[in-house]
Structure 1
């Protein structure tokens, strides 16, 4: 169950001259290392949903990625690349002396976790991929399927605004809002940690890497596809996904089929945030997986 509490330790790490702020809960021998979604999103929403693990004997560590939250926010488009974020993640792991970790990536953090696992496989005990994908062209096909549920007239309107670049138009934003409540978080009121992250979103890295919203990928990651490489990841993996997720169960299944050793759990009453939408069920699945692979 999510909780808002002060970290047991907050430290700054310098990565290539930039200040990265890290957060740690608990002092267990097993470390769960969190990579949140975005890009450009502060880690509040994922941190506060997983700090409960410290009460079960785990150390929980995360950080505000460069460009967001309390970390530095440089104005340099060249910094917004997945390969640079991989090296940032490794720099944080090394600076905090975390050793081998249970790496948990949510959404964009899952793409980062996959890229990290392929680059530094020896740093992982397990890989936990939540509400994410390994094949973004396939994800785009799924996104278009979800958008189609709004009806042809609405889809036509959205495409026209996307062609004009008028993403802020009220009718376009109304369609995105509806999709968000269907496929990002289905709760009537979104939790405070999630709102804290959303209200401090730096759109510069998000726009550069992904696009203007959750349902249009036009950034430098639009062709990213590591599905065929997942078999190179040697550690056990857990994949979780919401039944109504924007990054759909079909994306999760594609990852499971390509990983060597993977479990897949679908939360039937969730979209993109099972840890908020079905916290009891989610927490039980995560704790069971960690216990079996500690």
Structure 2
């Protein structure tokens, strides 16, 4: 396998990319991985390089995180700029035909990009999707009610007082994450190691202080009324205990004409780590 990496100029700076290519499959349509966040980096998803046995796999860190530049300019943190960035990455890497695999916020980006009707996108995987911020917020309100009452009270108090950067808010958030983000105990080392690659500026500007308290400029994002325009093969997946709930994910699936739907029964929001082998199997079956 050949692994190459480099940087691509985009609005606001340079973004890092890495390509995994095997000689016997280099002519097959590549997969471009769109990581979550905003600002989470490709780091925890690097195990998906195993898909390069069948076709090239390309990772890139979106601006503001990972190995990419981290400009201190809030005007850069918009969905439109990230859509433009994705187009520039495709152009720079000569990805005339491509499969898109987006996870979490990466699905927001994949949908917004696909709805600009670019040529050559052969299929999309929406992994633990967020295609409607209002629906996401409603689901998290329900999820929060499953937390112990003292945790709920702490979250509410900190949000009302504007102390979401406090240690008590972080500890309460961790309780949410154990149930709805990653259920593995102990927490996977790759998530611990990957924390340093996260970019908080883009996350807090676009999303908010936590997964379940949406205050950023994506707050009103909702493309559900356009999902019928996605006519290419599409796969929706989520975990049974996912913050991207099975009910809402299936709803997106029903709105998308040529789509499939799969639930990972033993996962929350990170099935590519929580059920690694099964996740890869489902991806391979789809491709």
TM-score in terms of structure 2 length = 0.94
Is the aligned partner of 1:40 residue 2:39?
A: yes
Residues 139-288 of structure 1 aligned to structure 2 (within 5 Å):
139-288=136-285
Which of 37, 52, 55 aligns to 1:54? It is 52
Q: Could you tell me how far 1:284 is from its partner in structure 2?
A: 1.1
Tell me how far apart the structure 2 counterparts of residues 149 and 7 of structure 1 sit (CA, whole Å): 47
Provide the secondary structure at the position in 1 that maps to 2:119: helix
The 3-state SS of whatever aligns with 1:270 is coil
- C-alpha contact 1:239 1:263 (8 A) present in aligned 2: yes
Confirm or deny: 8 A CA contact 1:133 1:251 kept in the other structure.
no
Of stretches 154-163 and 232-241 in structure 1, the one that deviates more from structure 2 is 154-163
Indicate the larger mover: 19-28 or 187-196: 187-196
Q: Is the 8 A contact 2:5 2:18 kept in 1?
A: yes
**Shift of the alpha carbon at 1:174?**
2.2
CA deviation string 1:215-269 (max 9, x = no partner): 2111000110001101111201011100000111122112101111111100110
Q: CA deviation at 1:151?
A: 4.2
CA–CA distance in 1 between the matches of 2:43 and 2:163?
Answer: 30
Q: Where do 5+ consecutive residues of structure 1 fail to align?
A: 1-5
Shift of 1:191: 2.8
In structure 2, relative to structure 1, the CA distance for the partners of 1:267 and 1:8 (3 Å cut) is same
Structure 1 stretch 146-155 or stretch 92-101: which is displaced more? 146-155
Which one of the candidate residues 10, 15, 20 is aligned to 1:15? 10
Distance 1:231 1:121, change over 3 A: farther
**For residue 105 of structure 1, what is the aligned residue in structure 2?**
102
Name whichever of 31-40 and 249-258 sits farther off: 249-258
| 1:227 and 1:255 in contact (8 A); partners too | yes
Aligned 8 A contact 2:74 2:202 in 1: yes
Q: Cα–Cα, structure 1 residues 88 and 7, in superposed 2: closer, same or farther, change >3 Å? A: farther
Structure 1 Cα separation of the partners of residues 185 and 149 of structure 2: 27
Q: Distance in 2 between matches of 1:68 and 1:120?
A: 27
Aligned length: 283
* Cα distance, 1:163 vs structure 2: 1.1
Contact 1:121 1:233 in 2 (8 A): no
Structure 1: distance between partners of 2:188 and 2:4: 24
Aligned Cα root-mean-square deviation (Å) = 1.6
Residues 58-111 of structure 1: CA deviation (Å, up to 9, x unaligned): 100121101111111111100000110001001000110011111010001010
- In the aligned structure 1, how far is the partner of 2:43 from the partner of 2:88? 21
Instruction: Identify which range, 25-34 or 110-119, moves more after superposition.
Output: 25-34
Give the drift of 1:152: 4.4
